[in-house]
Structures are given as structure tokens and as C-alpha cells.
Chain A
Amino acid sequence: MNLQVLTYPFLFIALYFESFLLVTFLSGPARASRGKMIKPFAMEVPRVAIVVPCWNEETTIAGTVESLLELEYPKKKLSIILVDDGSTDGTSLVIDRFSHHSQITALHKENGGKFTAMNLGIEYAKDAEIIGFLDADSFVAPDALREIVAAFNDKHISAVTASMSIHKPRTILQRMQYAEYSLAITLRHVFASINGLYVTPGPFSFYRRFIFANIGLFKHAYLAEDMEMAMRMQRAGLHIGNAIRARVYTKGPPTFAKLIKQRVRWTTGFMRNMFFDYRDLLGVKKNAVLGILVLPLGIIAIVSGIFLFLLSIFQVIRHVIHAFSMTQAAPLSYMLSWHSSFTWFYLPITVLTLLGVMIVAGTFGWMIVGKRMSRTPGKLMFSMVLYLLLYGIIAPLWLMRSVSDVTLGVRTTWR
């Protein structure tokens, strides 16, 4: 049996997904979302609070706060709440240095987990109409909050997400993530336009204050409190939007071990929330985008990522064994040389390669769209090449580890 046939269903699903992206990208809601322009400050702008939960972030927290202080927003309307969640490094001292600032409130508490720090921040943001959060390793563009607030002009929107990218990517893995985040910008923009988001990421997501009163505060949620909150909002029929030009930059894990750790936390968080607490969202017609398309595709992505990786490994091993057996038939020098004439006849074009090339080209196209639409700075070309070379090898590793951890009940840790 030709094992390549097994890849065809996954290729078709990927092609369908990209087609759906294109159609929805061109549809009215997405176009309207992109068309929203920030206006000069009107007399009345909502009062906003930004909560920054910190735990052992002494090297990045100062930059995070400084970027918040540079936000283009009336100072009287913006408060910044720094919550030290029992750091054991110098984070506490760093945030205290900012406590004299009129916009800043510095809080200290015993370590209880990120969600407890976020909830304490909400308590202190009593007068804010809109409450946002920013991870302490992230930085925002000066106009980001104006873009976010403009997105809240739509009365149906209860939460708004930003466009994340990697802050000054240096290592190979960070550059790979830069391409990945560029793709995610497009995905978030498109699916927000039809209310298909299931995560409001830690870096710079904002909520109308009333939703915490209506559906509750953040929970532990298997260390994926941002995902759980978004799922809870979807269950309650609330809409999550996106401000594509609200740029926020986060520190991508620079090493393999840290990247795997982060992604296992994300993936196990998705799986545990999805299968243990929010299974009712699957297949639900009330929000068909999420229940029939996005969440099932999230599960298919995990299954296909692992399956295609294992299939590739199997094929590679098979070819290596075959090549090794052929060394009995001819010298290695002959095996490594090209024997056939170079004509179109021998072009290795198959249904698999042609569909594969189209899907990769489409993915690259969406990365470029994401970068351009969000006006994210940086060079994408080299990152896309790294993404092509590495992502298919590295991602299955965290997917397999995640499936294993969830199956065996292994507890996930933050770092």
C-alpha cells in the first residue's frame, strides 16, 4: 500500500482551511474590522486599566512598564497596575521604582499563580470600564491602546485581542516563531471577524469590566487562564474581537527546551480545557464557527501533526534501510550520482507534491498578509525559510509530549 495516500485527507483539510481563510478574509465583517480607523481623541474615551502580573521578571518588567507609559492615551484615563506574584528575584524592587508614578499602582502578594495576580489587579481597577492585561515579558507599540479602544466601539464586542509578534528575534527558534506569529496575526484577525476565537492571549487582551461580574474572574485553568476565559465567554455567547494594528511584542523562548516547555503548557491547556471542562462547545450550532470548525480543526491539527510526523519518520527509516540494502548492489559513489537525463519526463510532480507546495505557498502568503496588515516591523523571508525547515520537526515533539502528559495525567508547570 502506498502510505502517501494516508496524507491526502489531511492535505485536503489544510487546503479547505486555507480556502475558508481566504473567503472569510474577503468577507464583509473582516473588511469592516480592518477598515476601522483610530480617530483623534474625542472628549470621552473610556477609562482603561492595564494589569501586569509578574513573577520573576526582573530583566523584562522595566521595559514592559516603560512601553505602557509611552502609550498614546490620556493619562487620566489610563491606570497601570503592577502585581508582583511573590517573585523571588528582583522583580519586586523594579516595580517599586515605578510606584511613585501617578498612573501606576504597585501591588505585592504571596505567590498564588498568574490568575490570582490578574484577579487582584481586577479588584484594584474599580473605576475602569475596560480592563486589559499584559504579560511582564511583553512590550506594546505606542498606538496599540488606541487601536484596541477603537475596536470596542462595536457594542457587541466584549473583549479585544491584539496582534502579537516576537520582540527582536535573534535565535533560529525565535525567528521561526516570528513567522509563526505572523501567521497567527492573520488567523486571529479572520476568526475574530466571525467570533471564532478560543483564546484571549496574555499579551494585551482587553475585556469590558462587566464580563468579570457576569461570568466570573480568571481561574487556574490548567495554566491556560487566557484560553479558559475565552472559552467561558464563548459559552456565554459573548463576542471576542481583534484589533489587527494593535501591536504587542513578546519575548519568544530562545532555546529548544524553553520553547517545548511553553508549547506543552499551551497545548495541554487547550486539550484539558477542551476535553475536561468545555466539551459542550464542540459541535455546538449556537456558535458553529467555533464548535464545528475551529475547535475540531484544533484537535485535527494535533492528530495530523503527530501522525504526519510519525509517517515521515517511518518513510525516512524505510528509505534509509532500502538505500543501505542497495549498497550491496552498487558502490555508494554510484548511488549518490544522477543517472537519468534532465528532461521534464522525470519531474517529480505528484498530487502530493503539488498540493503540498500550494499549501506551503498559501501559508507563506498568510504570513505576509499578517505582517503587512498589522504593520509589524522586521524581516520575514528568512524566518519563513526557518519555519518551513524546522516547524514540522519541532511542533510534533511538543504535540506528542502534550498528548502523553494529558493521557498520563502529568501535571504541567509554568517554567
Chain B
Amino acid sequence: MSIFVRNSLIALLVAGAITGTVIYTINYLNDARIAELSTIENQIYVDTLSLDTQFSLLEAAPCDSVASSTTLTGELADLGERLSYAESQLGTNDSQVVQLKKQYSLLEIRDYLITKELAAACHTKPVIALYFYSNAGDCSDCDKAGYALSYLRTTYPALRVYSFDYNLNLGALKTLIAITKVNGPLPAFIVNGKHSYGFTSLADFQKQFPKGTFASTTATNTKP
């Protein structure tokens, strides 16, 4: 065997081993990301259940749960950001990401219902926005809409924004879509029960919200 052939084979092995190590490292890192997301979701699940139970126990004074609800919504927002990042790294079709998104959507729906119940019981009027988007390539304005909602949530924490992947195969989400009667082109928004479709600019979008919305403070969550 000539020195060229020998060195070529060794170099191929070395390059292959390095590439394999790099791919393994990235997979390990992504698995760790998924594991962290899963841990956060489990924690939020417990917190949601706890809040639900607390709400039931405090029938006489349900408004004591408002602070817990606000904290929980903040945690959901952080989870949403992480899930969005994981989705960008692993792809929208990754089975683990899809599974986590389903769990996340369930937590969002549960939080949305608790928020509504608390609002009714405590006679408060939180601004609640439901946002439906698509990652299937059929929604050219969804990026902008998601970004605008992130900006509004960060700047005006009084908003409670719940983002849902319209195409996610989840029974509870399909029911939510059915009862809210979202049937127009995406992105779709329901702000305090009022429907709107499409996104043009931040200024136009802000007009969908009740007057005085952008002065109060509460936590929300964004598109995953």
C-alpha cells in the first residue's frame, strides 16, 4: 500500500470520526434541550393543576389565585420561547417537538380557561388574544404577526396572548378552533372575542385591541 493510499484512508477515518463526534454532540445537545423543555412542561402541568385546585378550594375568595395565575402565564411565555427556538433547531416536523407543542397547547388552553374563569369571578377585564398561525408555508405574514405579538407582550405585559399552531393535530385545539369559529386566512386573531385576519403593520394591528390596553401590566405568552 502506498503512503498516499494509507494516508488517504487514515484521513478519511479521522474526518469521519470528527464529523461523527460533532453530529453526536449536536444530537446530545438537542436531546438535552428536549429534556429541559419536558421538565419545564411537567412543572407547568403541576402548577396548572395546583392553580385549578386552588381555584376550586377558594370558592369564597377565588381572586386570591390571580397572582399564581399571572406567574404561571409568565412561565408559559418562557416555555413558548424555548419551544420556538427548539423548533427552529430541530425542524417543525420533529416528532418530539410536535409532542411538546401539543402539551404546550393544552397548557395554554387550560391557562386560557382559568384566566377567563378568574376574570368572571373577580370582575376583571384582562385583554386576551388568541393567535392562530401556520408553519406549513401557507402563511407568509405569520412571522411578522408572531414577532409583533412578542413585541407587544414584552412591552405591554398586561396582554395575555395564546398562540396556537392551526395545523396541530390535537383534539382540544380543534375544538377550540371550532367553538371560536376561526375560518379565515391565517394569521387569525381573536382579541377579547373579536375576530380579525391577516397582518399588515404594527400600527394597524394595535387598533384591534381595546383602547387603553397598552398601559396595563400582566404577563402573557407567545407563539412557540
Binding site for B on A (CB under 8 A): 12, 15-16, 18-20, 22-24, 27-29, 194, 288-289, 292-293, 322, 325-326, 328-331, 334, 339-341, 345-347, 349-351, 354-355, 358
Contacts and interface: CB of A to CB of B under 8 A. Distances in A.
Interface of B: 2-5, 7-8, 10-12, 14-15, 18-19, 22-23, 25-26, 29, 33, 36, 78, 81-82, 85, 89, 143-145, 147-148, 150-151, 154-155, 199-202
A interface majority secondary structure: helix
Nearest to A14: B15
B3 A29 contact: yes
Contacts of B202: 328-331
The 5 A-B pairs with the shortest beta carbon distances in the complex, nearest first, are A330-B151, A20-B11, A19-B11, A329-B148, A19-B14
Contacts of B22: 351, 354-355, 358
Given A325-B144, A349-B25, A350-B26, 6 more contacts: A29-B3, A322-B143, A328-B200, A334-B154, A351-B22, A358-B22
Please report whether the interface of chain B is mostly helix, strand, loop or mixed according to DSSP. helix
A293 B2 CA distance: 14
Among B3, B148, B199, B200, max chain A CB count under 10 A is at B3
B29 A326 contact: no
Contacts of A292: 4
Contacts of B26: 349-351, 354
Contacts of A15: 15, 18-19
B18 A339 contact: no
22 contacts: A16-B12, A18-B15, A19-B10, A19-B14, A23-B14, A194-B4, A194-B7, A288-B5, A293-B4, A293-B8, A326-B147, A329-B143, A329-B199, A330-B148, A330-B151, A331-B202, A345-B33, A346-B85, A349-B29, A350-B89, A351-B22, A358-B22
B139 to A, nearest CB: 14
A27 B3 contact: yes
B151 A23 contact: no
